[in-house]
Structure 1
Amino acid sequence: MNLTCNNSKNSSNIRWFILADILLGTFMATLDSSIVNVALPTISTQLNVTLSIVQWIVVSYLLAIASLLPIFGRLADMWGRSKVYSIGFLVFTLGSVLCGLCNAIGMLVGMRVLQAVGASMMMATNQAIIVSSFPVSERGRALGLLGTFVALGSLTGPALGGFLVSWVGWRYIFYVNVPIGIIGYLLAKIVLPADKDKKEVSFDYKGSILFTMSLIGILFAVNDGNVFGWSSPIILGSLFLGVILLAVFTLVELRMENPLINFSIYRNRVFMLGNFSAFLNFAATFANAILMPFYLQNVLHYSGFRVGLMMAFLPICMAITAPLSGYGSDKFGPIWFATGGLLFNTLGYLFLLSVTTHSTFWGIIPSLILVGVGTGMFQPPNNSFVMSSVSKDQIGIVNGLNALIRNLGMIMGASLSVLILERLQATILSGIANPTQIQMDSSFVEAFHIVMAFLAGISVCAAIISFSRKNYISLKDGLQE
């Protein structure tokens, strides 16, 4: 049963129930991305596997999501967004049950991929459903709440995961999704609007296979370059194969009548500039989030608990700022909020140029607050602007591409930042035969400063790109209603 309204507009009450279901699915998928990390040592011990193998529980999930997002974005345009989203709830819940029942690492990795299928179905449609359910005047507010629940999922995951692993066992980090998934699916069947904009076109199987294989090859190389060595045959071969398949995919898509990704969408400057600035923002913020704990633990020698509390400032500030930014962008326009958020991020990275081997709590926290506020300011108006710049028959694939850009930015930022910092630190210590701990700490801070300056430069570039959209502020060709 679906509760729908006339003229494709949902009543005020119904559209907020729709948003509630989207927020529930988003929270569940985001929670699962962060809750698993704290259980990896326990799973490694109980399943008797090394940490290099157990990491595939996380890597397989991220790779599968990144590869499948455009595919399900396209299928959502063909089958209907509500249908794909609802099925995603079921698949994710089933995958969670099966993950909890696994007794072998191979099975667990396989079931994580099944979870990723469900998560990608929801992630590829959540923003599209919001945009099609809310008028322009309320989209920023709705997308701001979406950003808040992304932050809450990230924030809740480690704490809840630690509690469950300690008190009832690692399997319950997966079982906790089951009641959420059942409630979310039932609510989706009741409140999500009937799909009316389905496109009767053939699916691009050839393009889907080429895209998936190319992305897996490239992301495997980027993600595991530090593990196998960047000059190892497996990394070079994976990267070469991924690039070749991506080139073939592009040629195939240009000749397809109904391609998986219609490259003409990149002629839309609002879409292109919005995605480019988002990619740079996610790469920088995730790089900072990856490197900061190393500085806090290895240089300042903070406990894991203290590091977790300090890092929580970022998602907390994001959760508070995102809905306010969304509301403000609805009233005053998205450009100033999106660009201002990126400038806040820049200040946060520049603030870290002052840290030393003896920095205090108050010498670090302002940077986390600035980046949390900046990220919360940027995401809702940018998402609203991008999603509102396309026609109704494109929002499914655009939703998938938005989520893909976000994941690619995070993967690239995490992998390349660690690589760059390690290389810089090795160069600084190259003339020292047996460096002392003090020299190791000092070299880390020096390399950390260089990386933070680089992230500040990236954030400035993202701000310039974001602000350049002011000439395309009119959304007359997009989803005005």
Structure 2
Amino acid sequence: MQERLRQLSYYRWLIFGVAAMGTFMAVLDSTIVNVALPVIAVNLNVELAIVQWVVSAYLLVITILLPLFGKVGDLYGRRRVYLLGFVIFTIGSLLCGLSHGIWLLVLARVVQAIGASMLMANAPAIVSVTFPGKQRGRALGMIGTVVALASMIGPILGGVLVGLFNWQSIFYINLPIGLCAYLLGYFILPVEEKEGSASFDVQGAMLFASGMTGLLIVLLKGQEWGWGSYLVDIISMITIILLGTFIWYENKIEHPMIDLSLYKCWPFLAGNLSGLLSFMALFSNVILFPFYLHSILLFSPTEIGLAITPFPLLMAVIAPVSGYLSERISPALLSSSGLSIVMIGLWYLSTLDTQSVIWNVLIGQGILGIGHGMFQSPNNNSVLSCVPKEKVGLASGMSALMRNIGMVSGTAVTVSVFEWTRQMELAKVSLPSQTANISAFLIGYHDSLMIGACFAGLGALISLSRKGHAVLKT
């Protein structure tokens, strides 16, 4: 059957469709659960601080495993790892729906995240090696569209399913989709010849996983525990030792888990750094934006949903266009222009106040969507074009890793700046009134957005520095 499929003129796009399904499922489940958290907390009789681990565990595991499964895909075949990802993700979804206790649910989410990391690490790599140089930017741009649509549909679909059925339905819906995606992938994805016989770096994987766990725990819990607290200091010191040992060990062995020599290619390093900064910039707004709409502008849930829509909608439109243009225009120029627009969007949002109306909010979100859509596709194209074919899976996983670290660290910096500024403002008055609380909130929110704008501006400069640099492959 696969031989007949290979003869089709659109066979590459069938492969793209399978890659898009895995990306869509993994991203969807990172957003669909958020809507159900209050219901899960009530049904399982737990506090919000505990139920948040349903989301945090998923994020932690994906972040830790992304480069590992990118490397495994390079060694043992991306098709094999990708299809196994569908199986594990689907089993994890079933276990999530069957869970009757919070820690069983968290454990099931860990299983689900293992499958999701297999999908997320290998989908862009499959697309990158399937499409030739001149078409790669367009295809990766469309993957960006899939990510945006999944992010947009997740909360909406989650609300509908929980409202009509129950919270378990958000996991059960993955079962038929996962089975269908596996069967399609089995028949469509080409069987690869083994690239080489290098062994898997177990020691490096353990050092990396331990170090990244420490780093992400500090970023996620630092504000709650206190950045200068004894516990945070101890975990930070252990994390530095583990990651330092990991870097030393990876430079020493013949077949490392992460090939640090890739960073000698400046477009690869610059693309990853600017990708990290882009998500740090975006998450300076993502976390606090709904609270601004709810607490300051007194928007209804419907209005909040409407206000969020322009970002993923415009990103979904701009990303494939930007990917197409990256085949003809310097990716460095496009990506740096995109981050410059993100910087302008964050600055614009920092001017909103108690008198702002929904149109002001929609414009700000639209600017961010245009900017990020313009940045993401050319940046992905530039990064994956800079590595040899046999290492594209590893490069894909490392890029996704930077994206996740950007989300976590952007959230940590945003919350820290917001809380510190807000407390400083409230300390100026002995008995804070409602007006003082609103004023302190806005000052903290605006300062966080300006920090995010600085991240975007720095990312734009780093991204532009790639212009004129040679790459390892085209």
Q: Give the match for residue 24 of structure 2.
A: 27
Please give the alpha-carbon distance, in whole angstroms, between the structure 2 residues aligned to 1:56 and 1:235: 19
Return the match for 2:250 from 244, 248, 253: 253
Please give the alpha-carbon distance, in whole angstroms, between the structure 1 residues aligned to 2:402 and 2:291: 26
The structural deviation recorded for 1:2 is: 4.3
Instruction: Give yes or no for contact 1:2–1:194 (8 Å, CA) kept in 2.
Output: no
Q: Give the match for residue 238 of structure 2.
A: 241
Q: Give the match for residue 72 of structure 1.
A: 69
User: What pairs up with 1:60-459 in 2 under 5 angstroms?
Assistant: 60-459=57-456
Residues 264-294 of structure 1 show CA distances to partners (whole Å, capped at 9, x for unaligned) of: 1110111000111111001101221112112
The structural deviation recorded for 1:337 is: 1.8
Please give the alpha-carbon distance, in whole angstroms, between the structure 2 residues aligned to 1:441 and 1:376: 33
The structural deviation recorded for 1:324 is: 1.1
Counterpart code for 1:443? A
Q: Give the match for residue 45 of structure 1.
A: 42
CA root-mean-square deviation: 1.6
The structural deviation recorded for 1:240 is: 2.2
Residues 95-124 of structure 1 show CA distances to partners (whole Å, capped at 9, x for unaligned) of: 101110111111111110000000000111
Instruction: Give yes or no for contact 2:277–2:459 (8 Å, CA) kept in 1.
Output: yes
The structural deviation recorded for 1:471 is: 1.4
The structural deviation recorded for 1:231 is: 3.7
Counterpart code for 2:207? L
Q: Give the match for residue 18 of structure 1.
A: 15
Residues 21-79 of structure 1 show CA distances to partners (whole Å, capped at 9, x for unaligned) of: 11111111111000001111111111111111111100000000000011111111110
Please give the alpha-carbon distance, in whole angstroms, between the structure 1 residues aligned to 2:227 and 2:304: 30
> Aligned to 2:94, what secondary structure does the other structure show?
helix
Residues 122-171 of structure 1 show CA distances to partners (whole Å, capped at 9, x for unaligned) of: 11111111110001111111111101110111111111111111111000
Please give the alpha-carbon distance, in whole angstroms, between the structure 2 residues aligned to 1:18 and 1:272: 28
Instruction: Give yes or no for contact 1:3–1:193 (8 Å, CA) kept in 2.
Output: no
Residues 243-276 of structure 1 show CA distances to partners (whole Å, capped at 9, x for unaligned) of: 2211111121121111111211110111000111
The structural deviation recorded for 1:362 is: 2.0
Please give the alpha-carbon distance, in whole angstroms, between the structure 2 residues aligned to 1:233 and 1:101: 39
Residues 172-230 of structure 1 show CA distances to partners (whole Å, capped at 9, x for unaligned) of: 10011111111111111111121125221111111101110111111011101233333
> Aligned to 1:257, what secondary structure does the other structure show?
coil
Counterpart code for 1:344? I
Instruction: Give yes or no for contact 1:287–1:410 (8 Å, CA) kept in 2.
Output: no
Query: Which deviates more, 401-410 or 287-296?
Result: 287-296
The structural deviation recorded for 1:3 is: 4.7
The structural deviation recorded for 1:460 is: 1.4
Please give the alpha-carbon distance, in whole angstroms, between the structure 2 residues aligned to 1:85 and 1:239: 34
> Aligned to 2:327, what secondary structure does the other structure show?
helix
Please give the alpha-carbon distance, in whole angstroms, between the structure 1 residues aligned to 2:400 and 2:454: 24
Instruction: Give yes or no for contact 2:330–2:467 (8 Å, CA) kept in 1.
Output: no
Q: Give the TM-score of the pair, scaled to structure 1.
A: 0.95
Q: Give the TM-score of the pair, scaled to structure 2.
A: 0.97
Q: Give the match for residue 471 of structure 1.
A: 468
Provide structure 1 residue ranges, at least 5 long, that are not aligned to the other structure: none
Please give the alpha-carbon distance, in whole angstroms, between the structure 2 residues aligned to 1:144 and 1:372: 14
Percentage of matched positions with identical amino acids? 42
> Aligned to 2:167, what secondary structure does the other structure show?
coil
The structural deviation recorded for 1:332 is: 2.8
Instruction: Give yes or no for contact 1:4–1:191 (8 Å, CA) kept in 2.
Output: no
Instruction: Give yes or no for contact 1:222–1:415 (8 Å, CA) kept in 2.
Output: yes
Query: Which deviates more, 224-233 or 324-333?
Result: 224-233
Counterpart code for 2:372? T
Query: Which deviates more, 72-81 or 360-369?
Result: 360-369
> Aligned to 2:356, what secondary structure does the other structure show?
coil
The structural deviation recorded for 1:12 is: 4.0
Change (3 A) 1:356 1:73: same
Query: Which deviates more, 100-109 or 354-363?
Result: 354-363
The structural deviation recorded for 1:336 is: 2.5
Provide structure 2 residue ranges, at least 5 long, that are not aligned to the other structure: none
Counterpart code for 2:323? G
Instruction: Give yes or no for contact 1:2–1:189 (8 Å, CA) kept in 2.
Output: no
Please give the alpha-carbon distance, in whole angstroms, between the structure 1 residues aligned to 2:326 and 2:348: 27
